[in-house]
Amino acid sequence: MSRRPVIAGNWKMHNLQKEAIELTNGIMQELKSEEKSTLPEVIVAPTFTSLYVVNKAINDCGCGKVKLAAQNCYFETKGAFTGECSVEMLKDTGCEYIIIGHSERREYFGETDEMVNKKAKAILLNGLIPIICCGESLEQREAGVTDYHISSQITKALRDLTSEEVSKSIIAYEPIWAIGTGKTCDSVEANRVIAMIRNVVRKLYDTTTADSIRILYGGSVKPGTIKEQMAQSDIDGALVGGASLTADSFVQIVKGAVACGV
């Protein structure tokens, strides 16, 4: 079963609108000579305040090589939820994907597995694709509960979703100790955990669903690590933080994935 690779850039709380436009245009410029059909799905996730201008830059280019994601959403459709954005609002700005359950949202903003599940449902209901993050802390890894913890996160995140919905979703395995630390998880170990996640999906659903869902690795991915990561059997791409903040390093990662036979 061949799954189309995904390289997604999570810009976190970086870039004013002007910088976000420049970065988007820089990425598209560097991808100009690449044949679209050979590219992975390339996604950028700016902050809420830059979604509109980044979407405009993508549409103005018209190359169709870069897609838009939001970094978060709220699961309610509308109402008195000060400071939140509904999925419909994000869809209205051109988003096709929404990252949910990122460890920074879980740690600093109290996002729970139950909220991740509600967000996944709202995203899918609106025809968008959730990028569902999971991952263990260093303490959990050292205590030997990595697989248990991640199985639990995934089982709760997918609760009541249909196999069709799960098949089109994306999961990002991001060991917390590897995020923003420069310490990349060993590729063989990342692949083992990702294969374990695929097995959880197989048990909850079926082999077709498990073979369809894209599962990315995230955690200090760099141009120098992507080829080895993409060469693994179960790693379908990368969620990239720091290295997505310059067009040059992000596009090197995209091209690294191409070189692995996208």
Question: Toward ligand PEP, which CB reaches closer, 177 or 205?
Answer: 177
CA 87 to chain centre: 16
Distances 75 to 98, 125, 126, 173 between C-alpha atoms, Å: 12, 10, 11, 22
Give which of 150, 128, 143, 127 is closest to 68, Cα–Cα.
Answer: 128
Burial letters 133-165, b for 16+ CB under 10 A, else e: bbbbbeebbeeeebbebbbebbeebbeebebeb
> DSSP characters for 65-85?
-EEEEES--BSSSSSS-TT--
Active site residue 174: yes
Q: Which of 30, 11, 1, 64 is nearest to 254 (CA)?
A: 30
**Burial track 81-116 (b if 16+ CB lie within 10 A, e otherwise):** eeeebbbebbbebbbebbbbbbbbbbeeeebebebb
Given 41, 102, 104, 136, the catalytic residue = 102
Q: Least Å distance between CB 183 and ligand PEP?
A: 9
Annotate 80-91 with three-state secondary structure: CCCCCCEHHHHH
Residue of 41, 104, 165, 174 marked catalytic: 174
Query: Whole-number minimum distance, CB 253 to ligand PEP, in Å?
Result: 10
Task: Establish whether 14 is a catalytic residue.
Answer: no
Comparing CB distances to ligand PEP, the nearer of 219 and 237 is 219
Tokens 């720091």 correspond to 242
**Is the Cβ of residue 100 or residue 210 nearer to ligand PEP in the bound state?**
100
> Which residues are at the interface with ligand PEP (CB under 6 A)?
10, 174, 179-180, 218-221, 239-243
**Cβ nearer to ligand PEP, comparing 122 with 221:** 221
Query: To the nearest whole angstrom, how small is the minimum distance from the Cβ of residue 205 to ligand PEP?
Result: 25
CB of 137 to ligand PEP, least distance (A): 14
Residue nearest to ligand PEP (CB): 241
Q: How many residues does the chain have?
A: 262
Nearest CB to ligand PEP, comparing residues 94 and 180: 180
Q: How far is the CB of 69 from ligand PEP (least distance, A)?
A: 12
What are the residue numbers of the active site?
102, 174
